[in-house]
Chain A
C-alpha cells in the first residue's frame, strides 16, 4: 500500500497489465518518446519497447481503427486520445465498427480507449468536455469514470481484460490533485458496482468522476445545516448500478444527480428517468439534476467557474430538495 496520485494509479495499473499480459499494447499521440501529454505512459517505451508503446500519427480514426483490427487479431490494445474531446474524429471506427463487431460477426473487441476529460483549468471548449453520455447511448460500448486512485487502478485492469470496447474517462483535474492509498499488487474493480462515498439519510446524491469531490464538500457544509447526504459514486456508467441507486432512494426518498457534462441528454437524465420509473412510490420530491448548462465550456476562468457545477450550486440544489 502506498499513497499515489490518481495519475500514478492509472499508470501503475496499465504497467502491471502490460507486465502480466503480452497482448496488451499502448498506442496514441506522443505516448511513446514523450510519455504522453499528461505523462501517464512516462517510461513505458523504455520498459516495454517501441512495438508495445506506439507513437501514432495525429489521426484518431487510425488509432481506434488500428486498435479494432489488432483486437480482432487477438491483441488487447489500449488507445490514448490526447484529450477526450478528440474522440469525435474516431466516432465512426468506434461506434460503427468496434461497438457492433461482436453483434455482427461474433468477434470480441477487447479495446480500451483512455479519455482524459473534464474541465476546471481554462482548457476551453476543445479540451474540457465530458462526452460520456454520447457513448453511453451506443449499445456495445462500456463507459468507466473512476474518481479515486484505487478505482482508477482497479478499473483500468478490468477495462483491459473486458472483451468489449471500453471508454475509460480519466478526469484531468484529478490527475495530480487527488492522492490516496493504492494497493501495490494487481487487482481489478468490477464494473456496475457503485461505491458509497458517504452515507446519509435525507437526500441521495448520484454522481461520478471529479464531481464526487464537489459533492463531498457540499455534503460537509450541508451536514452543518442538518441535511444528511448520501453520495453514490457510480464508478461505471455502462453498466451502471441501478440497484444501488434505487436502494438508496428507497431510504431517502429524495434524489439529485450531479454531473459535469451539460444538461440536455446528459447521463443524469437516464438516471432520473429510471428512478421515476422504478422508485416512483418511494419519492417524496422531484428528482433533480445539477449539471453544466447547455453551452460549450468557456475559456474565461470566471465563466468556466459559472459553467462547471460548484460546491455552492450543489448545496443550493440539495437544500431546495431537502426543504421540499
Chain B
C-alpha cells in the first residue's frame, strides 16, 4: 500500500490584488497520472494567464472546479492522490471520499501509460476503496440544495434592480446564503453598487476610484441582435477595461509627440545585429534602443518615474520598465515588467525584452513578472501606427508610445551649414504623462533627452 496522502490543489494567488481566477483549461483529467510540477491546468486572472503546476506527483483523483468556473483564491480545485493510493482518504476530510470508480480510473491511467498492470499492482490499487462505503457528497444536504452559493429568485431580482453584486453582501441565511433581508439591508445602508473589481494596488491606498453609480443596472448577459454574436468578457478583458477606465478617471492625461531621427541607431543596429544573434541568441530590436535611451533619461527626470500617493510624491530610485505585449488573436494585452532596468546595458535590456515577450505569449509569466512597474513603453509602431495617445498604467506617471519608423524627407544642415533635404528613418515618440505631477516643460525636457540619446547614440556609454 502506498503511504502518501492526497494533496489539494488550490487556486493560486496571482498577485496581491487578485482575489479570484478562472479555470480556462484542465490539461489533466480525473484519473490522469501527473508528475510533480507538471502543468496541471491553465488559469486566467485579470492580471495574467498562466499554467498551474501540480504540487505533487500522483493521480488526479478529483477535479472540483470545471473549465469556465471562476473561484476565489485558495479554493480547492482538485485533489492529487499519491500513485497507487488513489483510494486513500487524506487525514483531513476531503471534499469527497474516494470510490471504487477512482480506483478503476487509477488502473486505467496506469494502463494508459503503456504499463501492463501486474497482479501486484491491481492488488495495491483495489483493496483500499473496496472497504470504503461511498458517502453522500458533503456539499448537498437532504434537499439537494448547495450551501451558501444559491441566489434565490427574489434576491436575484432585487440585485438586478439595484445593480448590486450579491457577492458583496454578507449572508445570514443557511450556509451564509444572502437572504432578501440581507440584500435589502445592504441597499438601505447605502452600500455602493458594484465596486470596481480589482482593488487599487496597496502602494496607492488613497488612489481615487471611479465613482460608484448606484443606479447602473447589473450587467446581465446582453441579448444578441440580428447579425450579432455575443460572448462573455474574459477575466483579462474585464481587468483591462476596469484599469483603463480608472486610469482616465484618475490621471490628467496629456500627450506630447517628438520626432526622432534614428539614422545613427539604424547604423549601429546593423553593425551589432549579427553579433547579438549569434553570440548571445538575442534579437536586437529598435525597441531595445528606445528602452535604454528612456531609462537613461529617467535618471535625469525622476518625476517621470514617480507616483502620486495621496498628497505625497513618491520618487523611486529604480526603474521597473513595463513592456506592453499584445497577445495573439486580439485576446488582450499584458504588461510584463523588467525589474531594475537601470542596471541593464543594451544587450541586457534586449535580452530582457525578448524574454518577457516570449513568456507573455506562451503564458509562462509568474505573478511577480507583472507587478511593480514604474514606467511603461508600448509599441504599436510595429503595426505601422505613427501617432497615439496612450493611457497610463496606474499608479505610474508616464507611458511612452513607440510609433513606426518611417523613411521621410527631412531638412537637415549639411557639414557646411547649409540646408539640405535628406531621406531619414524618422520615428514619432508619443509620451502620455500625468499633468497632476508633471508639467509640459518637464515632460518635454525628458523627451528631449530621450531624443538626444537616440540621435547621438554613444556606443561606449550603452
Contacts and interface: CB of A to CB of B under 8 A. Distances in A.
Interface in B155-193: 155-157, 173-174, 177, 179-180
Contacts, number: 29
9 contacts: A253-B152, A253-B180, A281-B154, A282-B153, A282-B157, A284-B179, A284-B180, A285-B152, A324-B174
A283 interface: yes
A272 to B, nearest CB: 14
B173 A280 contact: no
Contacts of A281: 153-154, 156-157
Given A284-B180, A286-B143, A323 B154 contact: no
Contacts of B155: 284
A323 B143 CA distance: 14
Contacts of B154: 253, 281-284
Nearest to B172: A323
B3 to A, nearest CB: 43
Nearest 3 pairs between A and B by C-beta?
A284-B180, A281-B157, A284-B154
Contacts of A284: 152-155, 179-180
A152 to B, nearest CB: 37
Nearest to A250: B154
B148 to A, nearest CB: 12
Interface of B: 143, 145, 152-157, 173-174, 177, 179-180
Interface string A300-324: 0000000000000000000000011
B182 to A, nearest CB: 10
B147 to A, nearest CB: 11
Residue picked from A280, A283, A285, A323, most chain B C-beta under 10 Å: A285
Residue picked from B152, B157, B174, B177, most chain A C-beta under 10 Å: B152
Contacts of B153: 280-284
B157 A323 contact: no
A283 B152 contact: yes
Contacts of A280: 153
A283 B158 CA distance: 11
Contacts of B177: 324
A142 to B, nearest CB: 33
B180 A323 contact: no
Residue picked from B153, B156, B174, most chain A C-beta under 10 Å: B153
Nearest to B179: A284
B152 A323 contact: no
A324 B143 CA distance: 12
Contacts of A323: 173-174
A324 B152 CA distance: 10
Contacts of A286: 143, 145
Interface in A132-160: none
B142 to A, nearest CB: 11
A62 to B, nearest CB: 49
Interface string A267-286: 00000000000001111111
Contacts of B156: 281
Contacts of A324: 173-174, 177, 179
B66 to A, nearest CB: 26
Contacts of B173: 323-324
Contacts of B179: 284, 324
Interface in A253-277: 253
Residue picked from B155, B157, B177, B179, most chain A C-beta under 10 Å: B179
A230 B111 CA distance: 63
